[in-house]
Each structure stands twice: as C-alpha cells, then as structure tokens.
Amino acid sequence: MVELLRIAIPNGEVIERHLPHHEITLGRDRANAIVVDHPSVARWHVRFVPEFAGWAVVDLQSAGGTFLDDMRLEPGVATPLEKGATLRIGEVQGILTEVAGEHTDNEPRAVQSADTFNVAVQPMDRPIKPGDFGALTVEVHNIGGTAEDFQVSVLSLPPAWVEVKPPTLYLSPGARDEVAIIIRPPRAPEARQGHHDVTISVASRLRPREERELTRVLFDGYVETTATVEPAEGPGDFVLSLLNSSNLPVAFDLHAGTDAYGVTAQIAEESVVLQPGQAQEVPIRVTGVKRPLWQPKRPHPIVVTARARDVAANHELRALRQRPPRYPWLPYVLLTAATGAVILAAWAFEWWWFES
C-alpha cells in the first residue's frame, strides 16, 4: 500500500501524487515537488513530513493559511495528517488516501474533470409509519479512472429524521457500492401524512461535482386526539378543549346535552376541523329555570360528545352542573331575623321580671 495525495483545484483539475519516503513541499514556485498554480496558494505553502505512523503537514508561514478538517494549523508546527482527512490549502483541497500497488514515478498526474460516477436510487416499496423507520438504497458507481471519496447526504428532510450508513464511500476505478438511508419520522404532527420529496446528494470530496437524485417516500397516517371539559363541576358555563396530535386533519361533530328538568346545554359550534398539531376551545353555555324554594339542591350531569367523522377518535365527557339556590340571599335574612327575635325575647323577659 502506498499513500496517494489527491488535490482538487477550483477550476476542476485534480492532481494525484504518490508521496515518497522523504519530505516534500507544495506551493506555486516551480521548485516545489508538488506545484499548484493557483493564486490562493503561497509560493512555498506547506511541507509534508514522513513519520513512523504516517505523515505530518507543516504550514510554511503562508498568508492564506492551511486548514485540516476546518481547523487552522499553527505555522511551523507539524500536525499529523490522518488518511481521509480534508486538507485545505488556500482554496485548494486535498485528501490523503491509500492505494494498492507501487508507484513508478513521482510526477504529478492531472485528471480531467468529467462525468466520473453514476448514482442510482432504489425507491421504497412501503409507507413509513411515524415512529417507525424505512430504508432507501443508493448505489454509487465510480466510472472514472481514479479512486475517489464520495459524500452522501439527504437535503430535503430534517437531519434528526435521517441516518446515512455509511455517509462516505471510497471507490476505486470501476468499483460500486451501496449506501443505506434510514428515514425515521417522529410520531408527531410535523411528519404529515402523504408523500414527501427526498433529495439525495452524492458529491465528490475532491472535484467540484455533485449528483442529486429525487425520490418520494410515503408517510402513513395515525390518529391521536384528546378532549377535556373544564371545570369538572361548577354552577356556571363550561369549555370543551380539543387537541389534534395526529399527523392528518380530523373533523369533529360536537354535541352537548343534559337530562335534567329545566336545564339546557348549548355548544357554541356544532363541528370543527383541526389541522395536525392544532388545539381549539369551544364554549358550552348552560341555562335553566330557577329551582323552587322547596326543591333540594342537587347536581345535574352535562354530557358532551365529540365524534370524528372519518377516523376512530370519539370522546364522551361528563361534567356536573350545580344548580344555584332559588334565593341566594334568603339564608342571611333568616339568620338576621332569628338573631333579632332572640334579642327581643331576652329584652321582654327582662322587662317582665323587673315589673313583677
């Protein structure tokens, strides 16, 4: 196995160079072992140093700097260069890889930019139920003349829903391999029922080339609704609270009633349509004749129903209506009269005692 340094220039040219077993430099100057004629590259930009376990890279006080996986290198300090890491030299990118065989020369090879890979997507044959998962298969075929690294990603779905296994492929010339894209939509209203477009990107890590494939996946529907009546017991009106936690719209037919004599319950809306994630409150007006003075005070049940039209999401709720007293001020009047009668009787008894 020998180390191969592949360098991609913004104009589309790719330079490949087998690294020898001694130090070499890279820059614009013709005296460098690897010459990269680009304005973002310094005359003497970096030095590659062989080490026991691999290679190290040293920035030679360049103006544009040298970056290893987005980390800027400290000038003059040797930093280990791992295989597969992205090295950015000005606006030029490089990757160190291993290839089989032995190199026969140390001259850089220029690779022309052209169609170097094909992408095929095997569509999903079943819908995905939110909370479950499904998988797409992506095949990448390297039809170019050099080995390449490819980055596979999904652009049109939230990143938390997608897992790419593996996210990168290293393919020799003529080789092909598959990537599994696992899609896990959450059991939440955001994962709407229906078809969703999935844009798959396959990009070369060296040359400025990207293939995008569009496919569609189908999310299954689920129903999850809640309904409550507040307060559970009281003398006034009530409120029906509905929440649609499904990933599809749900239409409800509403009704409120009671079997109590002289009491009526009227709901403000006879039907509502809730979109995924939507909540709504519906007032319930309770009216009735005042109870006679001799009738005992007792609660009466109010029955509220919310029946879904096309899905199994029916709710039947109960609340207690406490009927108000006939004369709310009467107890205070009777108490005051009783107190006055006691005082008057005491005064009359005292007067009779002294007179007799």
Domain residue ranges in the chain? 2-111, 117-219, 225-322
* Per-residue model confidence (pLDDT) at position 341: 86
> How is domain 225-322 classified at the CATH fold level?
Immunoglobulin-like (2.60.40)
Backbone angles phi, psi at 96, to 5 degrees: -100, 125
* Per-residue model confidence (pLDDT) at position 194: 93
Question: Would the CATH topology of 117-219 be identical to that of 225-322?
Answer: yes
Residue 18 DSSP symbol: E
pLDDT along the chain (356 residues), means of 10: 78 79 87 88 91 87 90 92 88 79 46 65 90 93 82 91 93 89 95 91 79 89 93 86 95 86 84 95 81 60 89 83 62 82 83 73
| Widest distance between CA atoms in the chain | 146
Q: How far is the C-alpha of 77 from the C-alpha of 73, rounded, in Å?
A: 8
In this prediction the pTM is: 0.58
Backbone angles phi, psi at 347, to 5 degrees: -65, -40
Given a contact cutoff of 8 angstroms between Cβ atoms, the answer to whether 281 and 259 are in contact is no
- CA distance from start to end of the chain: 135
Residue with tokens 């991609």: 8
* Exposure string over 147-156, b if 16+ CB within 10 A, otherwise e: bbbbebbbee
Write the DSSP assignment of 241-263 as a string of letters.
EEEE-SSS-EEEEEEEE--STTE
Out of 3.10.129.10, 3.30.70.100, 2.60.200.20, 3.30.930.10, select the CATH number for domain 2-111: 2.60.200.20
Q: How far is the C-alpha of 215 from the C-alpha of 192, rounded, in Å?
A: 17
Tally Cβ neighbours within 10 Å of residue 324: 13
Torsion on CA atoms 31, 11, 147, 51, rounded to nearest 10:
40
Q: Which residues make beta-bridge pairs with 242?
A: 227, 280
Q: How far is the C-alpha of 293 from the C-alpha of 207, rounded, in Å?
A: 93
- In the chain, the amino acid numbered 80 is P
Give me the architecture of the 117-219 domain, per CATH: Sandwich (2.60)
Given a contact cutoff of 8 angstroms between Cβ atoms, the answer to whether 47 and 89 are in contact is no
Q: How far is the C-alpha of 27 from the C-alpha of 34, rounded, in Å?
A: 7
Long-range contacts of 104-111 (CB under 8 A, 24+ apart): 106/17, 106/18, 106/20, 106/33, 108/15, 108/16, 108/17, 108/34, 108/35, 109/15, 109/16, 109/17, 110/13, 110/14, 110/15, 111/13, 111/14, 111/15, 111/16, 111/144, 111/145, 111/146, 111/207
Q: How far is the C-alpha of 93 from the C-alpha of 153, rounded, in Å?
A: 20
In angstroms, the Cα distances linking 288 to 77, 285, 316, 321, 322 are 89, 10, 22, 11, 11
